[in-house]
Amino acid sequence: MKKNLFALLVVLMLGWAAYASFFVAPTENTMGVIQRIFYLHMPSAIVAFCAFLVTFVANLLYVFRRQQRWDWLAVSAAEVGLAYITVVLITGPIWAHPVWGIWWTWDARLTSTFVLWLLYISYLLLRTLIEDPHRRALASAVYGIFAFLDVPLVHMSIRWWRTQHPQPVLMGGPGTGLDSRMKIVLLYSFIALLSLMIFLVRQRYELEAMRGQADVLRREAEAA
């Protein structure tokens, strides 16, 4: 009941965020209608990062506490985060093509997002290749920690190397900033996408927990 209610709430919020980004937010002056993809693109990136942060914390907790639920949380958040990053990587070129005239450029933020995507694909791939649940949890937790520590290094190195992506529009210093209506729509989208992330991670966590229990039962049956 509670879960269904939450699902309904998430759907309503997403619907409202979509409506707001089309009809409430003003059309941007230079880029026109295409700029509205921003309300999906940027919040997805932040939400993905939140999900990877959850994975990192869960990895750390697993390493020190050794409770399976942290492993379940880590993989759930990593999968959902990967889905969000994929959304960012798809909406980015759709926006870039009419505005920059190219689909993709090897700029700092684009490239580091791409590397981030690859890192977490590797993380999930590693998990599929270790049978023993305890060993899988521990090895992937350490790799997850390595991957997360790598993220700022990747970002910094690529930033020194090249940059084309627009400077941050929020808190980016004088001369930057958004129309207040845009800010509100951005906030709606962020909250809606964040709630969706929480909902998906919860669902995925339950699935993983059931898988874990099924695995234990199978082992017991084999041993008996």
Binding site for other proteins (CB under 8 A): 63, 115, 118-119, 122, 125-126, 129-131, 135, 138-139, 141-143, 145-147, 149-150, 153-154, 156-158, 160-161
Q: Which is nearer to other proteins, 140 or 195 (CB)?
A: 140
- Provide DSSP, 85-109: HHHHHHHHHHHHHHHHSSS----HH
The terminus-to-terminus CA distance of the chain in angstroms comes to: 38
Q: Helix (H, G, I), strand (E, B), or coil: what is residue 28?
A: strand
Nearest approach, Cβ of residue 158 and other proteins (Å): 7
Q: 129-168: string of b/e by CB count within 10 Å (b at 16+)?
A: eeeeeeebbbebbebbbebbeebeebbeebeeeeeebeee
Nearest approach, Cβ of residue 70 and other proteins (Å): 13
Distance CA 179, CA 26 (A): 8
Nearest approach, Cβ of residue 89 and other proteins (Å): 15
Q: Which is nearer to other proteins, 157 or 176 (CB)?
A: 157
Q: Which is nearer to other proteins, 25 or 154 (CB)?
A: 154
Nearest approach, Cβ of residue 34 and other proteins (Å): 30
Q: Which amino acid is it at 124?
A: L
Nearest approach, Cβ of residue 48 and other proteins (Å): 16
Q: Which is nearer to other proteins, 16 or 104 (CB)?
A: 104
Q: Which is nearer to other proteins, 149 or 210 (CB)?
A: 149
- Side-chain half-sphere CA neighbours of 215 within 13 A: 11
- Side-chain half-sphere CA neighbours of 20 within 13 A: 21
